[in-house]
Structures are given as structure tokens and as C-alpha cells.
Chains A and B, each alone.
Chain A
């Protein structure tokens, strides 16, 4: 079981991932709908979530910028990018993201990646 911070500007995706991950037994500690809100919420966390599921193309602040700021604040944060924007894959991984999952993907794949990244020290 992992604590997860969900970031995506698509409300339907947030709802569905929330439902799916909760069924799997994970705990969604917070949700953000743009990069700016994500960074703001992350600064307010008393306990850092085990995983951050981050979209890239979002209003106000994109995923790459938000991830950079989050990692600058806490470099141990585990970020998994879930994005349909495959062009930023290399940049996201170079930044320090643990994985880049290209949308659309099967939900089984997401649960495997979450398990794999959670176990990494």
C-alpha cells in the first residue's frame, strides 16, 4: 500500500485513477489539477507521499516544471509521469522522474509500475 499524490488537469482521469488505486488499497493523500497547485500542496505536506503521479500538459505550470520544483524541494520524491505527451519523456527521466508511462495505457500496467517504483529504495 502506498500513499499517492495525483496531479492531472483532466477531472475524469483523476476520478478514475482515484477509484482504481483505492480498489488496489493505495491511499490518495491529495489531488491537484495544475502544476502550480501541485507545487503549493506539496510544500504543505507534513509527510511526503510515497509516490507522485504527474501529468505534463497542464495549465498555469506544466508537469516538467512542477516536477523540477518538487524535486528541488525534496529530491527523494518519487515521481511517475503519466502523460500523452511522449516528446517530454527523455527530459522527464533526466530530471529525476522514476518512470514515464505514455497515455493511453492499461490500468494493470499502472499498478505494476506503482509496485515496482514503491519497492525501489
Chain B
């Protein structure tokens, strides 16, 4: 395996570790279950990188082919989980789809491999990965407004950058494969396509990490808004009851002077609290 390929894969693994750590942090901070899908995705993606390295380490062809198969399957599965995790911010998807696609992504290349079609097995995994990227990019672009309503405009633009990076990677990879380069460039000598492949692979992973950070910011903002809204609503109702009760009690003319003064004080403080609620709402 060429040094550029090893360096490219090591960098990819490091970036995926960063992605995994960020996703774990998000899950801890925001308690959004959708981060679990992302965490699984990033973790499998790290395994994919490790299996790519191992395929280059073994000189035995069978072991090398097995790790290539694992690399292909784990890359497509990881792509599925990561894309689905990021897509879930825009639209909820049933877990059944995730399960069916996962089984398909594992079984089809595995059967091809067991039948002796080693190259086809790896290419099938690549095809599945490209298919995921296409499917998960077309839907949000077709429903742009719904997408924009769920995330900020900045996140939307980063989503487009991620798509651009992945499309560039996918298209260039298909061209290179047709030119006769090996799967993942693991057994090739140094070439410009090899450099382009690893450069785009790392660039799209960085874009993906930045996009997920923007999404995290959007979610925490929405959560804060909901919390402020809930508290100002409940406080509003509470003050309504206290002030109304004070006014109605004050209607009684037989009350002692001291009690009347206290009720006036309650009303005054309620008005101050009402003003405070309005200020909180304004600053949301």
C-alpha cells in the first residue's frame, strides 16, 4: 500500500474519530436519540478505515480480499447510518427501512464474495454507498422549504457543500475505477487520481463534521426557545391567577387597611413579573 493511501486512510480514521466524539458529546448534551444513529454510523466508519488498512497489511490474498469485503460493507453501512442520522433532522424515517437496507447492504456483497466474485462484491458496496448519497440528497433539495424550516440557512448551505463534496468524490471515483484503478487505490502506485480520491474523501468528511456542528447549534437553539416558551407560558398563567385573585379580594370593602396594602403590593409585584415575562419573550 502506498504511503499516500496509508496517510489518507489514517487521516480519514482520525476525522471519523472526531465525528464520533462530537456525536457522543451532542447525545450527552442534547439528549436527542437521533444522535445514536450518527454514533453507530461514525463508529462503523472507523472500522471501515481500519479494515482498509488491514487489507493492505496482509500479503495473503484471501485475507486481503476478506478485509476488502469488510471495508466495502462497513463503508456502505456507515454511509447509510450517517446519512440517515443527518437526514432525521429534516424528516423522521422508520427504523424498519434502516434494518432492511442494512441487511441488503451486508447480504448482497457477501453472497457475491462467497460465489467468488470478489471485485463485484466491492463494487456492489460502492454502488450502494453512491445510491444512498443520491437518494438522501435529492429529497431535501426537492422539499427545500420544509428543510429550511427545520434547520438554519447556514446549516442548509453546509448541507449543500457536503453534497457537492460527496458528489465530486463519487463521480471521480467511478471515472477512476473505469480507468482501471483498484478499489480504494489500495494496491496502486502513486497517481493524481489517488491523491484526488483521498483529498476529496477527507474534505467531504470535514464538511460533514462542520455540518453536524451547525445542526447541533440549531437544535440547542430550538430547545432553548421551547424551554423559554414553556416557562414564560406557565409563569404567565401563574401570575394571572395571583393578580386576579388579589384584585377580586380587594373588592371586599370590609378588609383591614394592612390587608389592602398587602394586596396592593401583590398586584404591583404581579405587574412587574408580567413585564419581566414580556422582556423574556422579546429577547428570545
> How many Å from the CB of B253 to the closest CB on chain A?
13
Interface presence of B243 (CB below 8 A): yes
The range of chain B's interface size is 20 to 34
Contacts of A107 in B (CB 8 A): 243-244, 247-248
Q: B residues within 8 A CB of A73?
A: none
Selected from B240, B251, B271, B273, the residue in CB contact (under 8 A) with A84 is B240
Residue A119 at the chain B interface, CB threshold 8 Å: no
Q: Is B229's CB under 8 angstroms from A16's CB?
A: no
Q: Which residues of B contact A20 (CB under 8 A)?
A: 244, 247-248
A-side contacts of B172, CB under 8 Å: none
Q: B236 within 8 Å of A by Cβ?
A: yes
Check if B245 is an interface residue, CB within 8 A of chain A. yes
CA distance A103 to B238 in the complex (A): 9
One digit per residue, 1 when the CB lies within 8 angstroms of any chain B CB and 0 when it does not, for chain A 80-121 equals 000011110000000000000011111100000000000000
Identify the B interface with A (CB < 8 A): 229, 232-237, 239-241, 243-245, 247-248, 251, 270-271, 273-274, 277, 281
Given contacts A84-B237, A85-B229, A104-B243, 13 further A-B contacts (CB under 8 A): A10-B241, A13-B237, A20-B244, A84-B234, A84-B235, A85-B233, A87-B229, A104-B237, A104-B239, A106-B243, A106-B247, A106-B271, A107-B247
A–B complex contacts, Cβ < 8 Å, 16 sampled:
A10-B237, A10-B241, A13-B240, A13-B241, A13-B244, A16-B241, A84-B233, A85-B233, A86-B281, A103-B237, A104-B236, A104-B237, A104-B243, A104-B273, A104-B277, A107-B244
